[in-house]
Amino acid sequence: MAVLRFPEENLLVNSEPEIREALAPLGVDYERWSLDRVSPDASADEVLGAYADEIEEMKRRGGYVTADVIDVNPGTPHLDAMLARFDKEHTHDEDEVRFILSGRGIFFLHINGRVASVEVGPGDMLRVPRGTTHWFTLCEDRRIRAIRWFQDTAGWIPHYTESGVDKGYQPLCFGPAYLGPRVVTTISA
Ligand SMILES: [Fe+2]
């Protein structure tokens, strides 16, 4: 389950319908998908086969031409360099679409002068439209496994804004503890 925060407003949203409703006006799609198709340690091909229907549906919805499975963990070669490509505010010429199989990370979305952080975890599907200013970081265990969709087989390239906005936000992960019953919560200072 994701955790959506608007840090400036001390607003935290942690239920599926409220997250979906809060992100929709920003043009960002959020959905919860089943994780019971394959075992967590299934191969990439097994994952792509198990989610073939969803993959094709997303291709139809978004014009994506290909999908793959990315697997990042502390042993991934050049992990710091990889993460450094995406932890500064940037845009892409195509959508950034992820279905999280395991691990956690945070998408910071900077839309209409407002910053939202979306901490995604297993079972979360997030679609960030092309042109959206955003940045991404992993949570402390530096692990994530996700299905990605692409509109261009050349992959996606970050266009940096150099705004420096990203420097004002700590990558604070709440984790699955926020699966609790609260729906919309104001964080006390
Ligand atoms: Fe990105």
- Residues having C-beta closer than 5 Å to ion ligand 1: 96
Closest CA to 65 of 163, 170, 153: 153
The predicted pLDDT at position 42 comes to: 94
- How many whole angstroms from 99 Cα to the centroid of ligand 1? 14
- How many whole angstroms from 94 Cα to the centroid of ligand 1? 9
- Paired with 44 in beta bridges are none
- Rounded mean pLDDT of 81-97? 94
- How many whole angstroms from 163 Cα to the centroid of ligand 1? 15
State the average pLDDT for the chain: 90
Would you say residue 183 has pLDDT above 50?
no
- How many whole angstroms from 182 Cα to the centroid of ligand 1? 30
- How many whole angstroms from 128 Cα to the centroid of ligand 1? 8
- Rounded mean pLDDT of 111-115? 94
* pLDDT band at residue 172 under the 50/70/90 scheme: confident
The predicted pLDDT at position 189 comes to: 43
- How many whole angstroms from 57 Cα to the centroid of ligand 1? 22
The predicted pLDDT at position 88 comes to: 96
pLDDT, tens digit, 9 for 90 and up, residues 42-53 = 999 999 999 999
- How many whole angstroms from 181 Cα to the centroid of ligand 1? 31
Closest CA to 103 of 142, 149, 48: 142
- How many whole angstroms from 47 Cα to the centroid of ligand 1? 23
- How many whole angstroms from 110 Cα to the centroid of ligand 1? 12
The predicted pLDDT at position 11 comes to: 92
Cβ-Cβ contacts under 8 Å for 14 (sequence gap 6 or more): 1, 2, 3, 4, 174, 178, 179, 180, 182, 183, 185
Q: For 50, phi and psi rounded to 5 degrees?
A: -65, -30
pTM above 0.75, yes or no: yes
- How many whole angstroms from 118 Cα to the centroid of ligand 1? 13
Q: For 74, phi and psi rounded to 5 degrees?
A: -60, -20
Better-scored residue on pLDDT, 36 or 189: 36
- Rounded mean pLDDT of 119-129? 96
The predicted pLDDT at position 176 comes to: 63
Most confident of 9-18, 154-163, 174-183: 9-18
Would you say residue 26 has pLDDT above 50?
yes
**What is the percentage of the chain residues whose pLDDT exceeds 70?**
91
- How many whole angstroms from 189 Cα to the centroid of ligand 1? 30
- How many whole angstroms from 98 Cα to the centroid of ligand 1? 11
